[in-house]
């Protein structure tokens, strides 16, 4: 990939600061993992030769004092929340917008749309994008019209928060217990979906006007024993010491026929455009035994640490990690020179389903 010299470019790598006092809660593991993304990006920027510094974001006055002092050309936005609140991810990106700063990644609107899983699913339905049947509960369930098994999750979180080992729900009493537990812990509506038994794919996209679909990854469930649930639980994503972490590796590129590959790519682009994706993102889907595709969610600004799924897809596409970071910076600089925060194409295309 050709790129213009960036050695004179001033970069701040902004991330949600990890507090000195760490809550005793496994949910904190995924938030703490942002430091690995920072390390990977800073290493790439070192290879490029940019003048780069990190910007831990916890106190806004201190953060903007650092910005005023350094005067960056681009902020690499790795902020996944603010002061431990993941729901404020879009708000941090909004600050960069309000301050007129050029930054990488998805816009506040895209971040907000994707994080609100209920709204995202309604948008999928509006465009006839297939997604698992669902119900939303704001209090303990009194009934359900969904077919078991089910899976419940907080409606406005990411990183598989709330989806732990043995997450599948097989009867109404368990549905009541699970929803009540999630309501009590996360203080937000609970999304309950019909569980799609089948293959799970992660489709990474890179770019804007004509996003490039990177080689597709699949979660390999073949290492699971009979009776173990074929889901990507929180333990499987974030806890390397847990047996499920080793038993559910991501394989990229995934093996599939050309027809399924084309359908997955086409649908992923539709989701990316519908939720106004920008720069990079990932679409997660399940495919059942009849080869029907169901979109689970769009993940804007996914984990880009060196060993994460997105970096594996970048490598499988023949790109060095440094080239990926360069591309993000070039895209942000292009928006800056154009005087625009937007650079995406929301025009729809037909899907091959």
Per-residue pLDDT tens for 203-239?
999 999 889 999 999 999 888 888 888 887 666 565 6
Please state which CATH number belongs to domain 130-194: 3.30.1490
Report the pLDDT value the prediction gives residue 348, as an integer from 0 to 100.
37
pLDDT of residue 350 exceeding 50:
no
Residue recorded with tokens 């936005």? 77
Contact 259, 287 (CB under 8 A): no
Structural tokens at position 87 = 């729901």
CATH architecture entry for 199-338: 2-Layer Sandwich (3.30)
Dihedrals φ, ψ of 51, to 5°? -85, 105
Q: Domain ranges in the chain?
A: 10-105, 130-194, 199-338
Q: What is the DSSP letter of 216?
A: P
pLDDT of residue 244 exceeding 70:
no
Q: Average pLDDT in the 271-277 region?
A: 97
Average pLDDT, the chain: 88
pLDDT of residue 37 exceeding 90:
yes
Q: Average pLDDT in the 88-97 region?
A: 96
Contact 192, 151 (CB under 8 A): yes
Q: With pLDDT > 70 as the criterion, what percentage of the chain qualifies?
A: 84
**Is residue 68 exposed (0-12), middle (13-18) or buried (19+ Cβ within 10 Å)?**
exposed
Report the pLDDT value the prediction gives residue 270, as an integer from 0 to 100.
97
Interatomic CA distance for residues 256 and 241, integer angstroms: 30
Burial 236-248 (b: 16+ CB within 10 A, else e): bbbbeebebeeeb
Provide the CATH topology of domain 10-105: Rossmann fold (3.40.50)
CA dist 340 → 14, 97, 130, 215, 258 (Å): 20, 10, 33, 30, 38
pLDDT of residue 58 exceeding 70:
yes
Interatomic CA distance for residues 191 and 297, integer angstroms: 12
pTM of the full predicted structure? Answer: 0.90
Q: What is the DSSP letter of 66?
A: H
Sign of the Cα torsion 90, 96, 97, 101 reads: negative
């Amino acid at each position: 990939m050709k790129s213009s010299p960036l050695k004179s470019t001033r970069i701040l790598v902004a991330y949600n600061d990890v507090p000195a006092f760490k809550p005793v809660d496994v949910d904190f593991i995924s938030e703490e993992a942002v430091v690995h993304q920072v390390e990977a990006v800073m290493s790439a920027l070192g290879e490029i030769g940019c003048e780069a510094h990190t910007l831990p974001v916890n106190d806004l006055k201190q953060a903007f004092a650092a910005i005023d002092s350094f005067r960056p050309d681009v902020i690499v936005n790795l902020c996944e929340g603010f002061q431990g609140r993941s729901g404020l991810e879009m708000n941090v990106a909004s600050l960069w917008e309000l301050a007129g700063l050029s930054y990488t990644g998805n816009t506040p609107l895209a971040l907000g749309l994707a994080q609100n899983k209920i709204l995202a699913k309604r948008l999928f339905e509006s465009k006839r994008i297939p997604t698992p049947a669902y119900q939303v509960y704001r209090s303990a369930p009194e009934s359900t019209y969904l077919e078991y098994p089910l899976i419940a999750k907080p409606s406005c979180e990411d990183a598989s928060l709330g989806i732990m080992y043995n997450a599948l729900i097989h009867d109404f009493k368990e549905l009541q217990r699970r929803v009540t537990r999630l309501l009590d812990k996360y203080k937000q509506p609970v999304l309950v979906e019909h569980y799609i038994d089948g293959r799970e794919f992660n489709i990474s996209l890179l770019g804007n006007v004509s996003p490039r679909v990177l080689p597709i990854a699949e979660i390999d469930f073949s290492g699971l024993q009979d009776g173990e649930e074929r889901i990507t639980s929180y333990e499987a994503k974030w806890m390397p010491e847990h047996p499920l972490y080793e038993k559910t590796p991501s394989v990229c590129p995934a093996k599939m026929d050309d027809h399924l590959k084309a359908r997955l790519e086409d649908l992923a682009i539709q989701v990316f455009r519908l939720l106004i994706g920008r720069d990079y993102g990932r679409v997660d889907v399940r495919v059942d035994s009849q080869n029907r595709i169901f979109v689970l969610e769009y993940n804007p600004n996914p984990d880009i640490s060196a060993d994460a799924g997105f970096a594996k897809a970048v490598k499988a596409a023949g790109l060095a990690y440094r080239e990926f970071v360069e591309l993000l910076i070039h895209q942000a600089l292009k928006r800056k020179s154009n005087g625009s925060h937007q650079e995406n194409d929301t025009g729809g295309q037909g899907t091959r389903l």
